[in-house]
Amino acid sequence: MSEPKRNIAWRLSEIFVTSRLTILTILALTFFGSIAIYLTPREENPQIIVPAAHISVQFPGASALEVERLIVTPLEAIVSEIVGVDHTNALAMNSVGIVGVSFKAGENKEDSFVKLYNRISGNLDKMPSGSSAPLIKALDVDDMPVVTVTLASDTYDDFALKQMAEHMAERLHSLPSVSVVTVKGGQDREIRINLDPDRLAAFGVPLTRVRDTLAGNNLSVPAGDTVQEGSTRSVFLDGFFKDADAVRNLVVGQNGGRPIYLGDVSDIVDGPPKERERISRFSFGAGDARNAEFGNLDMAAVTLGVAKKKGTNAVFMADDTIERIRRMQDEFLPRDVHVVVTRNDGEKADDAVNLLIEHFFIAVSTVFLVLILFLGWKEALIVTMTVPLVLFVTIGADFIHGITINRVSLFALILSLGLLVDDAIVVIENIHRRYYNGGGEKKDITIRACAEVGGAANLATATVIVVFLSLMLVGGMPGQYFYPVAFNVPVAMAASLFLAYTVTPWAAYRWVGMGHREEEAEARPGRLERAYRWLMELSMNRRAVRWAIYGVTLATLSLTVLQPAWQFVRPEGVAGPKPSFGVSTGFLPKDNKNTFNVSLQTPETTPVEMTDRLVREVNAILVKNPLITNTQSWVGQSGVIDFNALLRGSGDRVGANIGEIRVNLIDKHARETSSIELVRELRPAVEAIAARYPGTYVQMVEDPPGPAMRATVLAEIYGKDLDVLRELSGRAEEIFAATFDMVDITTSEPLDVVEYKIVVDQEKAALSGVSNAQIAAILRPLYAGEVIGRIHSDNSRHVVPIRVRVPYSQQPDPNHLENIIVENAAGQGIPLSELVQVVSGLRDRPILHKDNERVTFVGGELAQTSQIYAIADLDSKFDGMEIGNGLRLETGNISLATAAPDTIGKYQLLWNGEIRLMLDTYRDMGMVMGLALVFVFLLLVGYYQSFKIPLVSMASVPLGMIGVFPGHWIMGADFSATSMVGIIALAGVAIRSSLLIIDFIRDNQSQGMALQEAAYQAGIVRARPILLTTLAVVLGSAIMLTDPVFGGLAISLIFGTGVSSALTIIVVPVLYYRANRGAEA
Partner 1 sequence: MFNALFRTALVGVCLFALVGCKEDPEGHHAPEARSLDLPVTRVEIAAADRLYSTPGSAISQERIEVSSRTTGYLQRITVHEGDVISKGDILIEIDPTDIEGAINRAQAALSSAETALSDAEQDVVRLENLLERGAVSNENLRKATVARDVSRARLAEAQAALDTALAGRRYTTIISPIDGIVVARQKQVGDLATPGFPILTIESRTRLLFRTSVSESHIGVVRVGDPVKVAIDALGKEDVTGEILRIIPSGDPVTRRYDVEIALPSGLDVFPGMFGRAHFVIGSDRVVTIPARALTERGGLPGAFIVGDNGAVHFRWLRTGRELSDAIEVNAGLNGGETIVAQDDDRLRGGDRIETTAGATPDE
Which one of 101, 337, 536, 610 is in contact with partner 1 (CB under 8 A)? 610
CA 77, CA 445: separation in Å to the nearest integer? 71
Which one of 108, 132, 296, 541 is in contact with partner 1 (CB under 8 A)? 296
Please, what's the b/e burial string for 210-219 (b: 16 or more CB within 10 A of its CB; e: otherwise)?
bbebbeebbe
Which one of 227, 808, 885, 1078 is in contact with partner 1 (CB under 8 A)? 808
- The yes or no reply on residue 816 touching partner 1 (CB under 8 A) is yes
Coil, helix or strand at residue 255: strand
CB of 368 vs partner 1, minimal distance in Å: 10
Interface positions, 367-406, toward partner 1 (CB under 8 A): 369-370, 373
CA 1030, CA 831: separation in Å to the nearest integer? 90
Interface positions, 141-160, toward partner 1 (CB under 8 A): 157-159
Q: Which stretch binds partner 1 (CB under 8 A): 126-134, 323-331, 818-826, 931-939?
A: 818-826
Question: Closer CB to partner 1, residue 754 or residue 934?
Answer: 754
Residue 817: other Cβ atoms inside 10 A: 23
Q: Which stretch binds partner 1 (CB under 8 A): 67-75, 105-113, 1012-1020, 1039-1047?
A: 1039-1047
Binding mask 202-231 for partner 1 (x = CB under 8 A): x-----------------------------
CB of 973 vs partner 1, minimal distance in Å: 15
CB proximity list for 514: less than 8 A, separation 6 or greater: 435, 436, 438, 442, 445
What residues pair up with 759 in beta bridges, in sequence order?
Answer: 837
CB of 273 vs partner 1, minimal distance in Å: 9
Tell which residue, 295, 262, 316, 264, has the closest CA to residue 146: 316
CB of 436 vs partner 1, minimal distance in Å: 18
Which one of 340, 1031, 1054, 1063 is in contact with partner 1 (CB under 8 A)? 1031
Question: Closer CB to partner 1, residue 279 or residue 464?
Answer: 279
H helices of 884-1038, in order, are 914-944, 948-954, 956-971, 977-1006, 1011-1038
For 613, 642, 693, the CA distances from 606, given in Å and listed in that order, are 11, 26, 10
Which one of 69, 109, 199, 326 is in contact with partner 1 (CB under 8 A)? 199
Question: Closer CB to partner 1, residue 22 or residue 633?
Answer: 633
CB proximity list for 81: less than 8 A, separation 6 or greater: 119
Which one of 123, 819, 852, 946 is in contact with partner 1 (CB under 8 A)? 819
Interface positions, 613-672, toward partner 1 (CB under 8 A): 613, 616, 620, 623-627, 666, 669-672
Q: Is 18 exposed, middle or buried (0-12, 13-18, 19+ CB in 10 A)?
A: middle
Q: Which helix (H) or strand (E) holds 878?
A: helix 867-878
Interface positions, 758-777, toward partner 1 (CB under 8 A): 768-769
Q: Which helix (H) or strand (E) holds 517?
A: none
Contact present, 101 and 52 (Cβ < 8 Å): yes
Tell which residue, 891, 890, 889, 896, has the closest CA to residue 916: 896
CB of 963 vs partner 1, minimal distance in Å: 17
CB of 830 vs partner 1, minimal distance in Å: 5
Q: What is the layout of strands, in order, in the sheet containing 266-271?
A: 266-271, 190-195, 800-805, 786-791
Binding mask 84-123 for partner 1 (x = CB under 8 A): ----------------------------------------
Contact present, 887 and 906 (Cβ < 8 Å): yes
CB proximity list for 656: less than 8 A, separation 6 or greater: 277, 606, 607, 608, 611, 636
Interface positions, 947-986, toward partner 1 (CB under 8 A): none
Question: Closer CB to partner 1, residue 161 or residue 485?
Answer: 161
Q: Which stretch binds partner 1 (CB under 8 A): 255-263, 286-294, 718-726, 886-894?
A: 286-294
Question: Closer CB to partner 1, residue 338 or residue 845?
Answer: 338
Which one of 245, 277, 298, 752 is in contact with partner 1 (CB under 8 A)? 298
Question: Closer CB to partner 1, residue 135 or residue 620?
Answer: 620
Which one of 185, 829, 846, 966 is in contact with partner 1 (CB under 8 A)? 829
Interface positions, 521-560, toward partner 1 (CB under 8 A): 521
Interface positions, 246-275, toward partner 1 (CB under 8 A): 272, 274
- Rg of the chain (C-alpha set): 36
Which one of 128, 295, 576, 649 is in contact with partner 1 (CB under 8 A)? 295
Size of interface with partner 1, in residues (CB under 8 A): 76
- The yes or no reply on residue 440 touching partner 1 (CB under 8 A) is no
Interface positions, 590-609, toward partner 1 (CB under 8 A): 607-609
Interface positions, 499-518, toward partner 1 (CB under 8 A): none
Note the Cα 619 to chain centre separation in Å.
Answer: 26
What residues pair up with 117 in beta bridges, in sequence order?
Answer: none
CB of 281 vs partner 1, minimal distance in Å: 7
Note the Cα 748 to chain centre separation in Å.
Answer: 22
Which one of 124, 292, 544, 1079 is in contact with partner 1 (CB under 8 A)? 292
CB of 72 vs partner 1, minimal distance in Å: 33
Question: Closer CB to partner 1, residue 796 or residue 1042?
Answer: 1042
Please, what's the b/e burial string for 889-918 (b: 16 or more CB within 10 A of its CB; e: otherwise)?
bbbbbbeeeebebeeeeebbbbbbbbbbbb
CB of 670 vs partner 1, minimal distance in Å: 6
Which one of 8, 35, 180, 286 is in contact with partner 1 (CB under 8 A)? 286
Q: Which stretch binds partner 1 (CB under 8 A): 67-75, 384-392, 594-602, 827-835?
A: 827-835
CA 423, CA 357: separation in Å to the nearest integer? 22
Which one of 43, 44, 68, 288 is in contact with partner 1 (CB under 8 A)? 288
Interface positions, 299-328, toward partner 1 (CB under 8 A): 299-300
Interface positions, 350-369, toward partner 1 (CB under 8 A): 362, 365-366, 369
CB of 677 vs partner 1, minimal distance in Å: 10
Contact present, 253 and 199 (Cβ < 8 Å): no
CA 419, CA 119: separation in Å to the nearest integer? 50
Question: Closer CB to partner 1, residue 278 or residue 324?
Answer: 278
Question: Closer CB to partner 1, residue 651 or residue 769?
Answer: 769
Question: Closer CB to partner 1, residue 524 or residue 543?
Answer: 524
CA 343, CA 558: separation in Å to the nearest integer? 48
DSSP β-ladder status, 887-892 and 907-912: parallel
Question: Closer CB to partner 1, residue 253 or residue 950?
Answer: 253
CA 307, CA 179: separation in Å to the nearest integer? 5
DSSP string, 891-931: EE--SSS------TTSEEEEEETHHHHHHHHHHHHHHHHHH
User: What sign does the dihedral 990-995-1000-1005 (CA atoms) show?
Assistant: positive
For 24, 367, 428, 453, 936, the CA distances from 511, given in Å and listed in that order, are 18, 20, 12, 20, 37
Interface positions, 36-65, toward partner 1 (CB under 8 A): none
Q: Which stretch binds partner 1 (CB under 8 A): 548-556, 811-819, 872-880, 886-894?
A: 811-819
CB of 296 vs partner 1, minimal distance in Å: 4
CB hemisphere CA count around 708 (13 angstroms):
18
CA 977, CA 704: separation in Å to the nearest integer? 13
CB hemisphere CA count around 658 (13 angstroms):
15
Residue 926: other Cβ atoms inside 10 A: 14
Question: Closer CB to partner 1, residue 292 or residue 1081?
Answer: 292
Question: Closer CB to partner 1, residue 1041 or residue 1075?
Answer: 1041
